[in-house]
A and B are shown apart, each in its own frame.
Chain A
Amino acid sequence: MNNLDNRKYVIILMILLVSLIFVTRLFYMQVIDEKWKDRAAEISENKVITQPARGVVYDRNGEKLISNVVYYDLRIVPNQAIGIDSAALVELLDITMEEYVKKMNAARKYSKRKSSELVTQIPPDEFTLIAPELYKFPGIFEVERTLRVYPKKCGAHILGYMNEVNKNDIEKNAYYKSGDFIGRMGIERSYEEVLRGKRGVKYYLQDAIGVETGRYENGKYDTLAVQGKSITLGIDWELQSYIESLMQNKLGCVVAIEPGSGEILAMVSAPTYDPNLLVGRRLGENYSSLEKDTLLPLFNRAAGATYSPGSTFKLLMALIAMQEGVITPETGFPCNQNLVGCHNHGSARTVSDAVKMSCNPYFYQATKRIIHQGKSTNGFKDAAIGMDIWASYVKSFGIGTDLHIDFPGVMKGFVPNTEYYNKIYNQYGWQFETIYSISIGQGEVLVTSIEMANLAAIIANRGYYHYPHFVKDIDGTGTPDIYMQKNYTMVDSQFFAPIIDGMWRVVHEPGGTGSKARIDSIAVCGKTGTVENSKIINGKTARMTDHSVFTAFAPMEKPQIAIYVYLENSGFGGTWAAPLASLAIEKYLTGEVSDTAKENRILNANLIPDASDILPPKEPKRRRR
């Protein structure tokens, strides 16, 4: 049977061959091919990103302006979601049937066993109504997440809001992943990196269904989430909230600064809105309605709008003129209405008088002397020289320059100079008479309210300012150095005295334009402004009711607050802006308001412009040189 004996070798060979194939295959699978390791890891390991709590934002007194609160996402597991009364569900969750169907289909497509989003970012008050009913709907459960809450319901323009990152954000900064939230507008945005903290990651092992079963490598690779740092702002929430209530039914803005530090005490843009509207699942629709509002509630007028300053600008003119030596505090000018129109008042024999009476021709003539200093016999060339001098002074007061505010979207004012006028009128094609409007705060000069509040602070400080800023402290490290420095203007402090004297008289002397700003116990210094303006309606330029403006600081000695109020299309500065400013000042300095009639008048006033604010065209003034 030799041949048959050989067969046993065949069998042995077969066994060895099979074993060899196995060993080779095992070697390939276990040692060489990484794919199975990766696949195994894919199946059995997973990670969850832990989002840190965002930093809390406090006001100057430690009150929470922005904090975190728990919201709820509802998730659904298609396999378990059987026999659901979908009509009852969509009613409970306040969604449409189409949305529900869409979400269900997406969930089924993604995975029948794992959960998918159903409704996200449900606020806690809504959720307390939903939670007790959830048992009726199998396969639906809630997951917590934290979102922002604005407990004081004020300061929407200051604080900003948050929403999900988009492609741009991710491209710009690799930290962000899809699904993260990022600050938009305001403090949420300018301090995004401070507030956001650092996310953590937890690696875990999972079973065949995707349910977590244990930590990966005992958490060796895990990192803890780091909470965002908290920030204290210089804002006084009670002041902010009070001014917002005063500003209801009005268009305009108010900025209040603490002169000694440059901290912004309040910044109001009207109309405003409750910042809590832009949180959670309602964000989209709320944002939409705000966007569509023709009064532009989302627009921050205080930081983003440039206006003509009007008579409040005259303060600056006098200061420059005195510093240049072209006038002295005792200089007087006649109220020559052929130069420029004015209201009836006595003669302005000093700078202080001029400030109190707000005499247009006075400042016309004073400014002319700045522009035409006689450095050239040719008037046109002279203007060209003087103009740049004038412009550099104005800029030294922080107008039209970068004020290094820790805030996004801040505009700069516009300061015209020689180059600018050359473009319009050609070189040497202009003189003061052409551009005189700037002397009374009209014309080409444009300012932002922050810049003008800063000007008030400069006067309060008698000649210097800190860069206006919101942050008072970051996580215990104090105010950044840049805000500690004093920035001096080109005008010596001695020249501020007559200005301040005049401002005091504006409020306290009969005949002063700002008498409505008087407060019994406080020495308020202020300056009114009544700004002419026009709008294009149906293709034609139409004059509108003047803007009402008031700039002020108080108390006169050791000022605590400098404020600038700008009310669009409301009338005389002394009629509306002045009393509003004084209410804010009094509230801030004493905590209460003595003149409730004044308060009620302002609270109840509706100054939103309508058709009645369109004025007939002005008679052209005949002027004689």
Chain B
Amino acid sequence: MRNQHDNTFADLDWTMVIIYFLLVGLGVMNIYSAVYDPEHPSLFDQVTQHGKQITWIGVSLFLGIAIMFLETSFIKKYAYWFYWITIMLLIAVLFMPAVKGARAWFGVGSFGIQPAEFAKIGVSLALARYLSSGDLYKGKTRSASVSFWQSIGKLRNIGPLFALLLIPAALILMQPDAGTFIVFTSFILVLYREGYAGNILLFLIIAVIIAVITLVVADSSFMIPGLKIKLSGKTGIVVSLLILGTIFYFLIRSFILPRNRPPLYRALIGSLIVAIVFVNFIEIGYSKILMTHQKERIDLVLGKIDDPDGKGYNINRAKASIGSGGFAGKGYMKATLANETQAHVPMQSTDFIFCTWSEEWGFIGSFLLVIVYTVLLLKMIIIAERQRSDFTRIFAYCVTGIFFYHFMINIGMAIGLAPVIGIPLPFFSYGGSSIMSFSILYFILLKLDAERKVVLQ
């Protein structure tokens, strides 16, 4: 066998390293512009966010190099340990004093740790370990298309799988940190790729569509033309579903051989029932359970309310900032909305960091940044697919999923396509915990990938 230490850097994917430095470098530059304070003009000034960000990058690089010198078997062996440690941290943090209504931090201000960030690493490692252990072979589907009931049956066998995911997710939700909780749904991507959730994913997507439509019409009502009866929007959906069901019934009757019909009929009725229950569930949840400000956030994305300066203040300022960038932007340090002195965009250095960049570099800049992230994500998939080791592949997809979610929601939120969930843009947003956890995920991936040619780990 080759000495692993000698060849640590031989197969390291240097493109990924370059992308890393590119993103953190541009990130620091961008933060500098977003929070520029003439009294602390030095890039490295530790009082400023960009100064601190550089420190955090330094720490992350140190950790990254340390990871490079770990053995991959070490990583795999202690995957579960790491997982349980993060679980304990997640429980412990719930006993900390609340900061701004959430119990999410250990420590003080900028020198604290957010367990939720590290939970992502723990869960990824644990999931990779669990799914690669071979115990669950019988749970996997061999073909992509399988009946709904079969999928449900498979799921019963892999309850622990969901527990692995749901325990930390629930603990995070208890903080409460809805944003990070939602990122946990990115693990479904991994499950999908590994064959566990094919049709589930399909149904989930349909469910989301139904949910969105329900939410849009939840508060409204309409009149039946001709009759003078007023119906709630929800009823309208149910009626539409029933009509759809009837159409499918006739389709099945027309095109399917009689002997194959019964399972489809069962599936149809089953899905209708589930759908109607789901609609009601969503509607009740929206009208009665959600808090007002959450309801408003949803309304804003759906376009139900339109207010330039009220509840949608964040989004509108963000969109205005981005939109005003034009084709080529206003120039470095020349943003007139997303900057420190004028501060029209809230959380300019964290959640809305994309705004400063877009405003200053225009469409060219924002286009290029999207391309860089897309390339990054695709590279991660390439890395994942070239692994011989299941563990690495699964871990790679976890990382891809997490990065994809952050990318999708953070930028989507800034341009008004997603509800405002405060999650950072990887390597770009300011934040010690975020930089560190993304870096650790990233470097573990690179390390594992660098060992891909080593015979079975």
Instruction: Tell me if A39 and B378 are in contact (CB < 8 A).
Output: no
Contacts of A6 in B (CB 8 A): 144
Q: How many whole Å from A33's CB to the nearest CB in chain B?
A: 6
- Given A26-B415, A30-B327, is A39 in contact with B320 using a C-beta cutoff of 8 Å? yes
- Given A26-B358, A29-B323, is A7 in contact with B374 using a C-beta cutoff of 8 Å? no
A7, A11, A19, A31: the one contacting B326 at CB < 8 Å is A31
Report the bound CA distance from A22 to B337 in whole Å: 21
A25, A30, A206, A213: the one contacting B417 at CB < 8 Å is A25
Report the bound CA distance from A25 to B415 in whole Å: 8
**Residue in A closest to B344 when the chains form the complex, CB atoms:** A208
**Residue in A closest to B198 when the chains form the complex, CB atoms:** A7
Which of A3, A15, A27 gathers most chain B CB within 10 Å?
Answer: A15
Report the bound CA distance from A83 to B384 in whole Å: 65
Contacts of A3 in B (CB 8 A): 142-144
**Residue in B closest to A6 when the chains form the complex, CB atoms:** B144
Report the bound CA distance from A6 to B194 in whole Å: 11
Contacts of A19 in B (CB 8 A): 370-371, 373-374
Instruction: Tell me if A484 counts as interface (CB < 8 A to partner B).
Output: no
Contacts of A21 in B (CB 8 A): 417
Report the bound CA distance from A30 to B415 in whole Å: 10
Contacts of A16 in B (CB 8 A): 374, 378
Instruction: Tell me if A402 counts as interface (CB < 8 A to partner B).
Output: no
Contacts of B408 in A (CB 8 A): 18
**Residue in A closest to B325 when the chains form the complex, CB atoms:** A30
Interface residues of A in 1-41 (CB under 8 A from B): 1, 3-4, 6-8, 10-12, 15-16, 18-19, 21-23, 25-27, 29-31, 33, 35-37, 39-41
Instruction: Tell me if B192 and A41 are in contact (CB < 8 A).
Output: no
Instruction: Tell me if A245 counts as interface (CB < 8 A to partner B).
Output: no
Instruction: Tell me if B336 and A26 are in contact (CB < 8 A).
Output: no
Contacts of B317 in A (CB 8 A): 43, 208
Instruction: Tell me if A4 and B370 are in contact (CB < 8 A).
Output: no
Instruction: Tell me if A207 counts as interface (CB < 8 A to partner B).
Output: yes
B195, B363, B411, B417: the one contacting A27 at CB < 8 Å is B363
Instruction: Tell me if B92 counts as interface (CB < 8 A to partner A).
Output: no
Instruction: Tell me if B367 and A7 are in contact (CB < 8 A).
Output: no
Instruction: Tell me if B434 counts as interface (CB < 8 A to partner A).
Output: no
Instruction: Tell me if B322 counts as interface (CB < 8 A to partner A).
Output: yes
Report the bound CA distance from A37 to B381 in whole Å: 37
Instruction: Tell me if A490 counts as interface (CB < 8 A to partner B).
Output: no
Contacts of A23 in B (CB 8 A): 367, 370
**Residue in B closest to A34 when the chains form the complex, CB atoms:** B323
Q: How many whole Å from A122's CB to the nearest CB in chain B?
A: 33
Instruction: Tell me if A205 counts as interface (CB < 8 A to partner B).
Output: yes
Instruction: Tell me if B337 and A44 are in contact (CB < 8 A).
Output: yes
Instruction: Tell me if A214 and B341 are in contact (CB < 8 A).
Output: yes
Contacts of A4 in B (CB 8 A): 144, 193-195
- Given A44-B336, A206-B342, is A37 in contact with B324 using a C-beta cutoff of 8 Å? yes
Instruction: Tell me if B336 and A45 are in contact (CB < 8 A).
Output: yes
Instruction: Tell me if B381 and A26 are in contact (CB < 8 A).
Output: no
Chain B, residues 389-418, CB within 8 Å of chain A (1/0): the string is: 000000000001000100110011001110
Instruction: Tell me if B322 and A30 are in contact (CB < 8 A).
Output: yes
Instruction: Tell me if B336 and A30 are in contact (CB < 8 A).
Output: no
Contacts of A40 in B (CB 8 A): 320-321, 323-324, 336-337
Contacts of B370 in A (CB 8 A): 19, 22-23, 26
Instruction: Tell me if B64 counts as interface (CB < 8 A to partner A).
Output: no
Instruction: Tell me if A205 and B336 are in contact (CB < 8 A).
Output: yes
Report the bound CA distance from A6 to B370 in whole Å: 25
Contacts of A205 in B (CB 8 A): 336, 342
Instruction: Tell me if B433 counts as interface (CB < 8 A to partner A).
Output: no
- Given A4-B144, A27-B363, A207-B342, is A37 in contact with B326 using a C-beta cutoff of 8 Å? yes
Interface residues of A in 198-215 (CB under 8 A from B): 205-208, 213-214
Interface residues of A in 28-68 (CB under 8 A from B): 29-31, 33, 35-37, 39-41, 43-45
Interface residues of B in 332-352 (CB under 8 A from A): 336-337, 341-344
Instruction: Tell me if B316 counts as interface (CB < 8 A to partner A).
Output: yes
- Given A12-B381, A44-B336, is A36 in contact with B319 using a C-beta cutoff of 8 Å? yes
A29, A33, A44: the one contacting B344 at CB < 8 Å is A44
Instruction: Tell me if B322 and A36 are in contact (CB < 8 A).
Output: yes
Which of A10, A19, A33 gathers most chain B CB within 10 Å?
Answer: A19
Report the bound CA distance from A19 to B368 in whole Å: 11
Q: How many whole Å from A383's CB to the nearest CB in chain B?
A: 81
Instruction: Tell me if B341 and A12 are in contact (CB < 8 A).
Output: no
Contacts of A206 in B (CB 8 A): 342
Instruction: Tell me if B193 and A22 are in contact (CB < 8 A).
Output: no
Report the bound CA distance from A39 to B320 in whole Å: 6
Contacts of A1 in B (CB 8 A): 195
Instruction: Tell me if A35 and B323 are in contact (CB < 8 A).
Output: yes
Report the bound CA distance from A40 to B322 in whole Å: 9
Contacts of B189 in A (CB 8 A): 11
Q: How many whole Å from A67's CB to the nearest CB in chain B?
A: 40
- Given A12-B378, A30-B366, A39-B320, is A7 in contact with B343 using a C-beta cutoff of 8 Å? no
Chain B, residues 137-149, CB within 8 Å of chain A (1/0): the string is: 0000011100000
Contacts of A31 in B (CB 8 A): 326-327, 363
Contacts of A26 in B (CB 8 A): 322, 358, 363, 366-367, 370, 415
Report the bound CA distance from A41 to B337 in whole Å: 9
Contacts of B416 in A (CB 8 A): 25
A10, A29, A45: the one contacting B319 at CB < 8 Å is A29
Instruction: Tell me if B144 and A7 are in contact (CB < 8 A).
Output: yes
Chain A, residues 94-128, CB within 8 Å of chain B (1/0): the string is: 00000000000000000000000000000000000
Instruction: Tell me if B308 counts as interface (CB < 8 A to partner A).
Output: yes
Report the bound CA distance from A32 to B200 in whole Å: 39
Contacts of B404 in A (CB 8 A): 15, 18
Report the bound CA distance from A31 to B362 in whole Å: 9
Which of B143, B195, B323, B326 gathers most chain A CB within 10 Å?
Answer: B323
Contacts of B308 in A (CB 8 A): 39
Contacts of A29 in B (CB 8 A): 319, 322-323, 415
- Given A23-B367, A43-B320, is A11 in contact with B193 using a C-beta cutoff of 8 Å? yes
Report the bound CA distance from A570 to B415 in whole Å: 85
Report the bound CA distance from A297 to B374 in whole Å: 83
Q: How many whole Å from B420's CB to the nearest CB in chain A?
A: 16
Report the bound CA distance from A206 to B337 in whole Å: 9
Contacts of A18 in B (CB 8 A): 404, 407-408, 412
Chain A, residues 215-248, CB within 8 Å of chain B (1/0): the string is: 0000000000000000000000000000000000
Instruction: Tell me if B276 counts as interface (CB < 8 A to partner A).
Output: no
Instruction: Tell me if B170 counts as interface (CB < 8 A to partner A).
Output: no
A22, A37, A207: the one contacting B323 at CB < 8 Å is A37
Interface residues of A in 260-317 (CB under 8 A from B): none
Contacts of B378 in A (CB 8 A): 12, 15-16
Instruction: Tell me if A30 and B144 are in contact (CB < 8 A).
Output: no
- Given A18-B408, A37-B323, A44-B344, is A11 in contact with B363 using a C-beta cutoff of 8 Å? no
Instruction: Tell me if A39 and B316 are in contact (CB < 8 A).
Output: yes
Q: How many whole Å from B40's CB to the nearest CB in chain A?
A: 18
Instruction: Tell me if A7 and B323 are in contact (CB < 8 A).
Output: no
Q: How many whole Å from A497's CB to the nearest CB in chain B?
A: 81
Interface residues of B in 12-47 (CB under 8 A from A): none
- Given A21-B417, A26-B367, is A44 in contact with B342 using a C-beta cutoff of 8 Å? yes
Q: A12-B378, A37-B324 are in contact. List 16 more A-B contacts (CB 8 A).
A: A4-B195, A8-B381, A11-B189, A11-B400, A18-B407, A23-B370, A26-B322, A26-B366, A27-B363, A29-B322, A30-B322, A31-B363, A36-B319, A40-B320, A205-B342, A208-B317
User: Which are the 3 A-B pairs with shortest beta-carbon distances?
Assistant: A36-B323, A40-B324, A207-B342
Question: Can you give 7 A-B contacts (C-beta < 8 A)?
Answer: A8-B381, A26-B322, A27-B367, A30-B325, A33-B323, A37-B323, A208-B343
B interface vs A, CB < 8 Å?
A: 142-144, 189, 192-195, 198, 308, 316-317, 319-327, 336-337, 341-344, 358, 362-363, 366-367, 370-371, 373-374, 377-378, 381, 384-385, 400, 404, 407-408, 411-412, 415-417
